[in-house]
Amino acid sequence: MSCEKQPSRSGGDCLELIDAGNRPFDFSATGWLVGQGVRYLNTVGKEGELAYQRVVELLRNCSKDVPETVAGMFRQANSGDAPLRWRLLYVLGDAGDGSAADFLIRTALKQLPEANADEGCEGPRDAEMLVCTMAVHALQRVAERHPAVSEQLLKIVSERPARPILIEAVKVAIELGLKEKVRDLLPKEDHWILDIRRARTEELFAEPEREDGKERGFTPPKTGLDYTAPRKEK
């Protein structure tokens, strides 16, 4: 399958995003495939899962075009449309090659909006933090297929982004075998991050200690007149 870029209207060979109204994925074959990936990403059921896998396989055949295509869509997405940008990064993580690293690093290090206590936990800062975190994990998946870009995770660590993003970058870098290099980059007061790890689901499953099926009751401590002080032995 050929996914070559089409010449732009200006006569050059740069990628040009054509205003497609409500159909932003229709400007090229690669863009259409990315749109299908976004569509099937959260589809429930085996059919949707299989369709997403097939889309990723096709995109990997034109991987040199995928990072540029996703980056263009990402720039044109509404600044408030964090879910779309999150999904674009997810697809890029599964389908992009090593050339996607620079874009993912820039996205992970993007300056976050100022925190606003009145917005609770669903304000613009929180939404952008999710997008930046996805960029870190997308870079991990790219690095797992293209090990040559693994050490580029260290660029994120060295820039000391917001604490949640830094923690994710450290965790990912450790999973890629870069723990000692990360240790050298972190100040000593942040070395505790090195001890954070991901736990497998089976590690969090606890067998119940009681098998009689009865709830254990609760008896409050005695107070007042029922209280007796220890007596001295005669």
Give pLDDT, residue 101.
96
**Which residue matches tokens 């990360």?**
182
Q: Where are the domains of the chain?
A: 16-81, 97-111+123-205
| Rounded Cα distance, 88 and 98, in Å | 16
Give pLDDT, residue 190.
87
| 61-84 CB burial, b ≥16 within 10 A, e <16 | ebbebbbbbbbbbbeebeeeebeb
Would you give the DSSP letter of residue 7? P
Given a contact cutoff of 8 angstroms between Cβ atoms, the answer to whether 174 and 182 are in contact is yes
Q: What is the length of the chain?
A: 234
Compute the chain's Rg from CA coordinates. 25
Give pLDDT, residue 44.
85
Both tokens of 111, joined, read: 């300056």
Give pLDDT, residue 142.
97
Given a contact cutoff of 8 angstroms between Cβ atoms, the answer to whether 66 and 34 are in contact is yes
Give pLDDT, residue 76.
87
Given a contact cutoff of 8 angstroms between Cβ atoms, the answer to whether 97 and 142 are in contact is yes
Name every residue whose Cβ is closer than 8 Å to that of residue 202 and which is 6 or more positions away in sequence. none
DSSP string spanning 113-167?
A: PPP-GGGTTSSHHHHHHHHHHHHHHHHHHHHHH-GGGGGGHHHHHHT---HHHHH
Give pLDDT, residue 23.
64
Give pLDDT, residue 182.
94
**Which residue matches tokens 């055949």?**
61
Residue ranges, the chain, pLDDT below 50: 1-2, 4-21, 227
Give pLDDT, residue 28.
87
